């Protein structure tokens, strides 16, 4: 399949970027997991002193460090991981099409005997594989360090969280690649995706703090990225599946159409 050839080219070109991001997220996963035993003994004091902070940034559910799952849901996945995967997805998508326009290499790619749909789907496939690698690199170190340190861990909960992370990352990448096909410069793409995700984050936080504005949460990815539910309760809501899959499919279809019919001045 020609799309696979395009995906292999894309993965080869973005290999260093993928490796760097995976090293960063793996380091953070090891760090957070390693310090958990020390923090667990001071859990009640920590919750009393900083528990309200999580509410202010939009964390839903009971704040607790009683288990590794609840601790990681708050410390790593509530704030840090979504930011990292957003930057990662924007970096990949920006380089995929907007970056090719800036460098003047998209013209050579379009001149090949390949359909534009094939090119887009190949780049999309490369991004999805990269997101999957990023998620695996996030979850695996946590499990390994927990096993080495004899920390109680619910494997099924982390497997469920890996699925949720993949759905979230895929939705963000799909949206970013759509904008990459629409825009000529990576800078505009980064600013736009960053602004959209930041606004979603703020909307979710406001919805948590203001009961009168609770309906706003349904417009935010972060409402559906409920890692407290997946890590603590081993559950992903149907609405999360629906939103992330729908955004991924819709963005991909529109992105394919844009690349297929857009006239590029290269």
Is the pLDDT assigned to residue 58 strictly greater than 50?
no
pLDDT at 55: 46
Cα 181 to Cα 100: distance, rounded to the nearest angstrom = 10
For 73, what's the count of Cα atoms within 13 Å in the CB-facing half-sphere? 32
Q: Which long-range contacts (CB under 8 A, 24 or more apart) does 21-24 make?
A: 21/84, 21/87, 21/88, 21/91, 21/134, 22/133, 22/134, 22/137, 24/84
pLDDT at 104: 78
The model's confidence at residue 133, banded by pLDDT at 50, 70 and 90, is very high
What is the pTM for the complete model shown?
0.90
Is the pLDDT assigned to residue 16 strictly greater than 80?
yes
Q: What is the 3 state secondary structure string of 115-183?
A: CHHHHHHHHHHHHHHHHHHHHHHHHHHHHHHHHHCCCCCCHHHHHHHHHHHHHHHHHHHHHHHHHHHHC
Residue in the structure block whose two tokens are 């190949």: 122
Q: Which two tokens stand for residue 149?
A: 């340190």
The model's confidence at residue 40, banded by pLDDT at 50, 70 and 90, is low
Q: Which long-range contacts (CB under 8 A, 24 or more apart) does 10-18 make?
A: 10/96, 10/122, 10/123, 10/126, 10/127, 11/126, 11/129, 11/130, 13/95, 14/92, 14/95, 14/126, 14/130, 17/91, 17/92, 17/95, 18/92, 18/130, 18/133, 18/134
Closest CA to 174 of 127, 140, 220: 127
pLDDT at 45: 57
Cα 128 to Cα 167: distance, rounded to the nearest angstrom = 10
Residue in the structure block whose two tokens are 């789907």: 121
Cβ–Cβ < 8 Å for 201, 33: no
pLDDT at 41: 66
Cα 110 to Cα 200: distance, rounded to the nearest angstrom = 35
Is the pLDDT assigned to residue 212 strictly greater than 90?
no
The model's confidence at residue 216, banded by pLDDT at 50, 70 and 90, is confident
pLDDT at 62: 53
Cα 124 to Cα 94: distance, rounded to the nearest angstrom = 12
């Amino acid at each position: 399949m020609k799309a696979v050839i395009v995906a292999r080219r894309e993965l080869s070109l973005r290999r260093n970027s993928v490796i760097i991001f995976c090293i960063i997220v793996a380091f953070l996963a090891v760090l957070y997991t390693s310090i958990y035993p020390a923090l667990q003994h001071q859990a009640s004091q920590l919750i009393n002193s900083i528990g309200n902070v999580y509410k202010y940034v939009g964390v839903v559910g009971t704040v607790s460090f009683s288990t590794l799952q609840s601790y990681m849901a708050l410390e790593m996945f509530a704030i840090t991981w979504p930011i990292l995967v957003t930057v990662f997805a924007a970096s990949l998508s920006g380089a995929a099409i907007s970056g090719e326009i800036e460098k003047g290499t998209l013209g050579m790619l379009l001149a090949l005997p390949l359909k534009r749909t094939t090119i887009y789907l190949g780049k999309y496939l490369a991004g999805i594989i990269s997101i999957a690698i990023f998620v695996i690199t996030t979850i695996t170190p946590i499990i390994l360090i927990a096993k080495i340190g004899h920390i109680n861990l619910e494997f099924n909960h982390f497997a469920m969280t890996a699925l949720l992370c993949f759905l979230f990352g895929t939705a963000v990448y799909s949206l970013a690649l759509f904008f990459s096909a629409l825009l000529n410069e990576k800078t505009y793409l980064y600013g736009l995706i960053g602004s959209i995700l930041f606004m979603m984050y703020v909307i979710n936080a406001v919805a948590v703090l203001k009961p009168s504005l609770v309906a706003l949460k349904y417009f935010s990815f972060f409402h559906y990225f409920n890692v407290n539910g997946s890590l603590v309760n081993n559950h992903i809501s149907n609405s999360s599946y629906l939103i992330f899959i729908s955004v991924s499919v819709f963005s991909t279809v529109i992105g394919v159409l844009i690349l297929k019919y857009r006239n590029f001045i290269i």
